Amino acid sequence: MQTPLCQKCAWSESLCPSCDAKRGSGEMSDLDIEVSRILHKINELHNITAAQFSHAIDLGDAVLVFTPGEAGLLIGRGGKVVSALSAALGKRVRVVSERGDARKSLEDLITPAKILGINESFHAGSTRLSIRLAKSDEKLLRIDVRKLEPLVAKWMGKPVVFVFE
């Protein structure tokens, strides 16, 4: 299994100099270390050796887990892997695939809500992305969109606003 944490550090309480340097430089967070260690333990019960984990972001009431590979591997059959990860972290977990285009990753993030469209608007010499969602889907979202806006803006490289129509 591919994680930001080396195999040795995944099973020990301390970090090797290489992993400690990654944490010190900000390349890897404490949450990334925690999720990596949990995933290695889950791998003992559910065979997820082909799974990949790149980083995690804590949104307060939920944790976003990003994978450069197939999201289904970290979700597991019947959601067993993501359920075990959620139980270990004590928060809801959303798995987001970084593979493919940004729209597909965004759809993974806000599922079961559906994206009606993504518009680029121009305001005072700058651009902004408006991500349009159905008003009826607002109650389906499991993550507050106001918490998602800065994250998606960083990801897309432009200011983002979610609009419910």
DSSP class per residue in 123-137: ETTEEEEEEEE-GGG
Q: What domains can you pick out in the chain, each with its CATH number?
A: 1-99 (3.30.300.20), 113-165 (no CATH)
pLDDT value at residue 60: 84
User: pLDDT tens string for the chain (165 positions)?
Assistant: 899 998 899 888 899 999 999 999 999 999 999 999 999 999 988 888 899 999 999 888 889 999 998 888 999 999 999 999 999 999 999 998 887 777 888 888 888 888 999 999 887 888 889 999 999 988 888 788 888 888 888 878 889 999 998
Looking at residue 24, what is its pLDDT? 92
Instruction: Answer for the pair 53, 36: CB distance below 8 angstroms, yes or no.
Output: yes
What pLDDT, on a 0 to 100 scale, did the predictor assign at position 21?
94
Residues 6+ apart with CB under 8 A from 58: 31, 91
54: CB partners within 8 A, 6+ apart: 4, 66, 67, 68, 98
pTM of the model as a whole = 0.82
